[in-house]
A and B are shown apart, each in its own frame.
Chain A
Amino acid sequence: MAKTISEKIIGSRLGREVNAGDIVVVPVDLCMVQDGTGPLAVRQLRELKRKGTSRKPSQEKDYAIYAPEKTFIFLDHAVPSPRQELSNSHRELREFAKKTGARLSEISEGISHQILAESYVNPGDILVGADSHTCTSGALAAFATGMGSTDVAVAMATGKTWLRVPESFLINVEGELPQGVYPKDLILYIIGKLGADGASYKALEFQGGTIEKMSLSGRLTLCNMAVEAGAKTGLVASDSVTMAYLREMGREGGYREIKADGDAKYERVIEVDASRLEPVVACPHAPDKIKPISQIKSKDIRIGQVFIGTCTNGRIEDFRIAGKILKGRRCASGTRLVVSPASRKVYLQAAKEGILEILIEAGATILSPGCGPCVGIHGGVLADRERCLSTANRNFKGRMGSPNSEIYLSSPATAAWSAVNGKISDPREVA
């Protein structure tokens, strides 16, 4: 029977045919936790390994994990640590990594999803992460999904997880994205169409001429936000773009061709004509409250803070776009620009290309790579009644600080041009 990408990856790992709806226990190729979910996973792992009914503290061997070299601990949410409680969590995770041999990604390295894409995930892998945006790696044709600390602790201990093979939605995108319209606009548009729970439990497969021509960076942006429609994961078939990316990262040996069969069964097919799209923003307080920029810009929506970064849009391609717009310009008075590259690699590249210089001259505050502001932990926490335009994936009430603040979401181009104007602005004006 013809297979979707999800059915192919899961079936191939099991060595037998699987179909949407099947409940399976699968081997996990990579698993990860971050500093927000890791300490709880460690506790669950110890509980799992505890002998009998003993309440005594675990022995060192009780930490044993199944495949240390494929287990990742990312320090990315609160880095460098802004508080003692979080420093203690970091210390605990460092000690755990040392004891078990799990790979530790230190505070200088950046956001888990970006690092996994750059350095570790291969097409055909199954990846579970205690972070909902684990689905980002689907851009490399890996089956990657977010779970909680306990699920990932069990995957760390046993090398396995249980899954329901998802039904898939085919998102077929044809046509060229117009000037000023980016993959972020495309995925926001799709989420607006599907709704915040429109793809609950499903896999989104992105296909079509637009996707084939799209950079891996753009594909990561699409798959990153699949969860914003409730999806289990987002996926793009592997192809020459994937191969070129892996080669650029020095690991072309990991390439495998993974694509859906032409006549695979999809629960829903959504056709998108990319050439008809315009820049969009997600309005407070949900990523599916999508408005076209043409409706928004006349409303004179003043912005106190612009944030460019995150696992959604903190890549070098995003910084090139922002740099081009901000070159020789300054942020409007009354508007702060906060910037955080997604990884050390991106940070370094932006420095080499002179983009950091452009951003600093434009008045930006550059943070080290990490998640901080997006999750309201530190580095740009919003005050009461403040408004932020962010390139992140979520704008839930209170996410970036005060529950009385407002978050809009957009592409890096819209964010950069809005920073210059001090209000939500149409990036096609500078394109």
Chain B
Amino acid sequence: MVLKGRVHRFGDNISTDLIAPGRYFHLRNNLPELAKHTLEDADSRFIKKVRPGDFIVAGKNFGAGSSREHAPRIIKLCGVSAVLAKSFARIFFRNAINIGLTVLECETEKIAQGDELEIELSKGAIRNKKKGLQLKFRPLPQVMLKILRDGGLVKHIRKHGGFKV
């Protein structure tokens, strides 16, 4: 599968408080409303600019902090097709896979705001034709790949009647 989209660039240590601020705690049962505030405290214009298929590209430790699964869920609801970061906080990473949001670890320094990327998931390749940029992303651990391919953890368990990792 090839994903194509534009880049929204963020820095290091984007916390789940920046992605899904605590002051909207009361909207957690209303994800479409909560999604209107996605990443608001990191870039207040993000929600106006984001289009289906776009990518979030960040530095290290993306998704640091709280276990709130609402964070990857609202990113996905915004239409973001993948998050690329130098590294992810572990709970966020697990949550993203569990809900079927593609998260890729790669060297992101050379990717800039507004870049257009093509990502070939099966080959582990990220390309930017204009810049002649070619990047590889680190393959997911087998167990996560399985869960992601099954469409997330709930579908994985339903399909196999339990963990099959």
Contacts and interface: CB of A to CB of B under 8 A. Distances in A.
Contact of B163 (A25, A48, A89, A132): A25
A201 B154 CA distance: 23
Interface stretch (B50-58, B92-100, B120-128): B92-100
A384 interface: no
Interface of A: 23, 25, 36-37, 39-40, 44, 47-48, 77-78, 83, 85-86, 88-89, 129-132, 134, 146-151, 153-154, 157-158, 160, 162, 164, 196-197, 200-201, 227, 230, 232, 286, 375-377, 381, 394, 396-401, 403
B1 interface: no
A148 B94 contact: yes
B98 A398 contact: no
A399 B165 contact: no
Given A40-B69, A85-B30, A160 B162 contact: yes
Most buried by A among B28, B141, B157: B28
Interface stretch (B2-10, B59-67, B110-118, B132-140): B59-67
Contact of A148 (B26, B29, B95): B95
Contact of A398 (B41, B94, B163): B41
B79 interface: no
Contacts, number: 146
Interface of B: 13, 15, 17-18, 21-23, 25-30, 40-41, 60-61, 64-70, 87, 89-91, 94-95, 98-99, 141-143, 152-154, 157-158, 162-163, 165
Contacts of B154: 44, 47-48, 150, 153-154
8 A-B pairs closest in CB distance: A148-B69, A376-B22, A148-B95, A197-B61, A396-B17, A85-B26, A403-B41, A396-B15
A130 B95 CA distance: 11
Contacts of A398: 17-18, 21-23, 41
A381 B22 CA distance: 10
Given A23-B141, A200-B61, A394-B17, A36 B157 contact: no
A310 to B, nearest CB: 13
Contact of A154 (B17, B65, B157): B157
Which one of A77, A132, A157 has the highest number of Cβ atoms from chain B below 10 Å of its Cβ? A132
A396 B19 CA distance: 11
Contacts of A201: 90
B151 to A, nearest CB: 12
A151 B147 CA distance: 12
A86 B25 contact: yes
Given A398-B17, A398-B22, A36 B163 contact: no
B65 A132 contact: yes
A131 B163 contact: no
A112 to B, nearest CB: 12
Nearest to A201: B90
Given A37-B67, A197-B60, A403 B153 contact: no
A164 B141 contact: yes
Contacts of B67: 37, 129-132, 134, 146-149
B91 A197 contact: no
Given A154-B157, A399-B17, A39 B22 contact: no
Contacts of A85: 26-27, 29-30
Given A36-B25, A129-B67, A164-B141, 11 more contacts: A23-B141, A85-B26, A85-B30, A89-B29, A148-B68, A150-B69, A158-B157, A197-B13, A376-B23, A377-B25, A398-B18
